[in-house]
Structure 1
Amino acid sequence: MSNLLLDTIAHAVSEKYHDRVIQHEAGHFLIAYLLGVLPRGYTLSSLEALRKEGSLNVQAGTSFVDFEFLEEVAKGKVSAKTLNRFSCIALAGVATEYLLFGYAEGGLADIDKLDNLLKSLGFTQKKADSQVRWAVLNTILILRRHGQARSKLAEAMSSGKSVGFCIDIIETSIDSSDI
């Protein structure tokens, strides 16, 4: 309940906080879509998440349709391709914040998810660090290449546009020679 209250107040009184959350989620959405993982939905505040999900434990976030990932995790064997996708998507919000603001305030839960997955797969700390470095570098390259698409996507998300509309924004913002 306190997270809901703090997040609601922060969105109401701080345009910077509100913009940071939007940019963070736009980063997740864009990277997922470009890597072939379909975004299912997004929320930009705890209050919005409560309304959509009916739970106090939900924060701003982007959800995905990724049956391949869930199936592999359930089997306890995740392919390198799937792990690379998940790593980039998980770190996309933090990478977006870093590129736009010079540092990241959000994303601890995203980093924890990735860290827990790597541990569950038996990664040593050295191997996990290497995976994270690889994912951060690749995610930043993609975000830099498609900054205009991310910017337009963030604007659409801030207006509460549908997932389909947001995907159309990405498709029309990316030059076909960039793909």
Structure 2
Amino acid sequence: MSEAGITRAAWIVAALVVSAALGPRLALPLSGMVGLVIVEQVAFGGRLSGLLGALLDWASPAYRQRVIRHEAGHLLVAHLLGIPLRGYVLGPWQAFRHGIPGYGGVELDQAPMRTWEAQGGLSWADLERYGLFWMAGAAAESLQYGQVVGDEEDRQQLAKLLAGIPAAQPLTSAAQMRAYINRFLRQSQALLQAHPEAYAVAVRHLEQGSPLQDCLAALAASLEERRQQPPSPSSETSC
């Protein structure tokens, strides 16, 4: 069971205990509510209660901005490293409609994954690129807020990548995996710090809900504009 599922189960047990102590007048409605929660857990896998919690979080402008900045990190690093994307979904209701838990996010093109499966594993070059992609959200959070709160699923996806390295080059310990994850985090931070204007463009377009192709075109234009800027004059040195 997931951590969220364990938490919900604990609340259900606690509610049943409390209802037994309250007596029949209050126990009946409380038991009915617990019954509805149990049905929702069984029939919908906790998706409805998860949606409610996500909607409450999303109502906070500060929290919503944090999620957008997290996903902007993924978007920019994917663009910089040539990682194909299918699109993005932002917001609990949109994510729920697409069958995605939580608040949604940037969606990867699955074609490279199918190629890796056919080849028996991904290359180290692909591991580097996708490792930086998966840690880019955490990198953006750490740079913007000094701490990371939304990288659990990203780390799980990266762990799957690390586990998919061909058997001829295995990672033999959890310590090695942590070392790779931390290295990818630092490298993603460096990429974002090297492209502040493009990152700001990614944030702005996600805030506006721009189509993915418009986001990518704006990123390309921002990066090209920076490349065409003349280098800053070097300080003069006296002989």
Same fold (TM > 0.5): yes
Q: Structure 2: which amino acid aligns with 1:116?
A: K
Quote the offset at 1:126 in angstroms. 3.2
**Aligned partners of 1:41 and 1:62 also within 8 Å:** yes
Q: Work out the CA distance in 2 between the residues paired with 1:119 and 1:72.
A: 12
1:176 maps onto 2:224 in alignment: no
User: Could you give the per-residue CA deviations for residues 45-100 of structure 1, whole angstroms, max 9, x where no partner exists?
Assistant: 2211123x2x2646411112252343114543210111111111111101100000
Q: Structure 2: which amino acid aligns with 1:20?
A: R
> Which structure would you say has the larger Rg?
2
Q: Work out the CA distance in 2 between the residues paired with 1:141 and 1:97.
A: 13
1:97 maps onto 2:125 in alignment: no
Q: Work out the CA distance in 1 between the residues paired with 2:118 and 2:209.
A: 33
Distance 1:116 1:17, change over 3 A: same
Give TM-score scaled by structure 1 length.
0.88
Q: Work out the CA distance in 2 between the residues paired with 1:110 and 1:38.
A: 17
Distance 1:57 1:79, change over 3 A: same
2:58 aligns with 11
Question: Where do 1:1-179 residues align within 5 Å?
Answer: 1-12=48-59, 14-51=60-97, 53=98, 55=99, 57=101, 59-65=103-109, 67-121=111-165, 122-124=170-172, 125-174=174-223, 175-176=226-227
- 63-72 vs 93-102, greater mean Cα deviation: 63-72
Give TM-score scaled by structure 2 length.
0.68
Structure 1: any 5+ residue segments left out of the alignment? none
Equivalent residues, number: 175
Q: Work out the CA distance in 2 between the residues paired with 1:7 and 1:16.
A: 14
Q: Work out the CA distance in 2 between the residues paired with 1:36 and 1:49.
A: 25
Q: Work out the CA distance in 1 between the residues paired with 2:146 and 2:63.
A: 14
Q: Work out the CA distance in 1 between the residues paired with 2:217 and 2:100.
A: 31
- 162-171 vs 130-139, greater mean Cα deviation: 130-139
**Aligned partners of 1:26 and 1:153 also within 8 Å:** yes
Structure 2: any 5+ residue segments left out of the alignment? 1-47, 230-239
Aligned-pair Cα RMSD in Å: 1.9
Secondary structure of 2:95's counterpart equals helix
Distance 1:147 1:70, change over 3 A: farther
- The sequence identity of aligned pairs, in percent, is 28
